[in-house]
Amino acid sequence: MRGFLRVIRAKRFVPEAGVVMEDGAVVVREGQIVDSGKWRDVKRRHGGNCGIEEEFEDGVIFPGLINSHAHLEYTCMKRAILPPKSFASWLERVGMMKRTISDWEFLDSIREGMAEAVGSGTTTVLSMLSMPQLLPRVGEAPLRVWWFYELADLRHRIATDDLIAGALMFFDQQEKGLGGVGLSPHSPYLASRELYRLTQLCSLRLGMPWATHVAESAEEYAMFCRRSGELFEFLVSLGRDMSDCMGLTPLQIVLGELKEIHRAILIHLNYLDERDEELLEFLGRRLMLVHCPTSHLFFGHKPFGCRRMEELGVPVALGTDSGATRSSLDLRKELRVFLQRNGWIGAVQGWRMVTRVPAVMLRMGPYIGHLRPGAYADFVVWKDPGGEGEDFFRGLVEQEEGPIGVWVGGIKRVERDGEVKWGVEEMDK
């Protein structure tokens, strides 16, 4: 006999951004939503076959948030780096700090980041991981993590047993349903064109997404287009081959020679020109762009071209970036900053950028980013801010109070008092 049906009921229910139902409920069995909607309809369909696990008279059931870019391993750096004089000096500072942090400290940092993320309403996070030897030791996560193995070939990397084991676990996790895996050449200034070509080949053959930082800073643009600037000089001092700095833009370096673009996630895209816009318009929805508002402010970049991306047909999602840019892992704070700086975008559209947009890009549209039957039971309960329509969704963004409950795969991970639960027992077994 299949598991008992469990019901979470609340004052209001949002099956997806833009849709609100009064007195709603989700019905959960074995980690999935088997029914959802208005409580009176759910009760009529299931009668005595389900029991109310929790009721939130002041709550709103909402899809779990999807953080499209993070560096969980750098959570420990968020109080250690001041806004830099240049992008190159920040890059150098991060490298220096990494050399002083032990593997065990990085493991603690990853776990701290996971707790902060799920504790603020995120149920899926796409996290870069530059040290795959850590992955076998991470253990159970309280949320879904898509690990992107961060690659660079500026210098030769010595393979150790731990590093190889960590890399192989990326492929093992594809069979475990614990999130997903992908590859991430770090950026065109740290990864070669050949590495991008091989990454795209792996993506096509294995069906994995891939991600990269690109066109993040004015220094990166100057390096490739004009063979000048602090980043150019810094990388020359490290012995990088600069023969690819010949007038092409960073985006052209990344995408220009790829024969087929497959599941590409482009992070930042702050500095573009007309050639880039032509490329983006051609590729359109074969890409997803990730914008990190707090990180953007940390570096003092020029205003992000969200309106232009919309005109070019490029989907935009939001991420938190890393502690190295003094960012938290509270994705709702990022959404708040984004809407404040882009007043023409409505709150409903903003919520879609942290739910449906990344879900579709990950090819997880049927399972995450919404709360229709068949989806994973990944949801947040927020305190009801009141209001109707756009005002209601704006109120959810602006209220300071954190979640009063978070479920991932049908397991309650966050209590009303904010406590994060790391237990392994599934409540419906």
Secondary structure class of 87 (helix, strand, coil) = helix
pTM metric for this prediction: 0.94
* Average pLDDT rounded to a whole number, residues 337-342: 97
Give residue-wise pLDDT tens across range 78-122. Answer: 878 888 999 999 999 999 999 999 999 999 999 999 999 999 999
Query: Checking DSSP bridges between strand 5-13 and strand 21-29, what pairing results, if any?
Result: antiparallel
Would you say 134 and 107 are in contact if contact means Cβ atoms under 8 Å apart?
yes
Name the nearest CA neighbour of 254 among 214, 303, 306, 218.
214
What b/e readout covers 101-139, taking b as 16+ CB neighbours within 10 angstroms?
Answer: beeeebbebbbbbbbbbbbbbbbbbbbbbbbbbbbeebe
CATH number for the domain formed by residue range(s) 65-361: 3.20.20.140
Give residue-wise pLDDT tens across range 186-202. Answer: 999 999 888 888 888 88
List of E strands, 171-301: 179-185, 210-214, 264-268, 287-291
The pLDDT confidence band at residue 52, using thresholds 50, 70 and 90, is: confident
* Average pLDDT rounded to a whole number, residues 176-191: 85
Give residue-wise pLDDT tens across range 33-44. Answer: 999 999 999 999
| Chain center to CA of 100 | 27
* Average pLDDT rounded to a whole number, residues 399-419: 94
User: Residue 137's pLDDT is what?
Assistant: 85
* Average pLDDT rounded to a whole number, residues 1-12: 82
| pLDDT over 80 at 231, yes or no | yes
User: Residue 428's pLDDT is what?
Assistant: 36
Residue with tokens 């590409």: 264
**Other CB atoms closer than 10 Å to residue 408's CB: what's the count?**
24
| pLDDT over 70 at 313, yes or no | yes
User: Residue 164's pLDDT is what?
Assistant: 46
The pLDDT confidence band at residue 427, using thresholds 50, 70 and 90, is: very low
* Average pLDDT rounded to a whole number, residues 279-295: 93
CA 60/CA 65 separation, integer angstroms: 14
418 or 273, higher pLDDT: 273
CATH homologous superfamily of domain 5-64+370-414? Urease, subunit C, domain 1 (2.30.40.10)
| pLDDT over 60 at 161, yes or no | no
| pLDDT over 70 at 426, yes or no | no
Work out the mean pLDDT of the chain and round it to a whole number.
90
361 or 198, higher pLDDT: 361
| pLDDT over 70 at 160, yes or no | no
**Other CB atoms closer than 10 Å to residue 400's CB: what's the count?**
7
CA 375/CA 61 separation, integer angstroms: 14
* Average pLDDT rounded to a whole number, residues 12-34: 97
List of E strands, 313-390: 316-318, 321-322, 379-383
What are the domain boundaries of the chain? Answer: 5-64+370-414, 65-361
Query: Checking DSSP bridges between strand 321-322 and strand 316-318, what pairing results, if any?
Result: unpaired
Question: DSSP string spanning 16-83?
Answer: STT--EEEEEEEEETTEEEEEEEHHHHHHHHGGGEEEEEEEEEEEEEEPEEEEEEEGGGGGGTTT-PP
Low-confidence winner among 207-211, 334-338, 405-409 (lowest mean pLDDT):
207-211
CA 409/CA 136 separation, integer angstroms: 22
* Average pLDDT rounded to a whole number, residues 364-376: 97
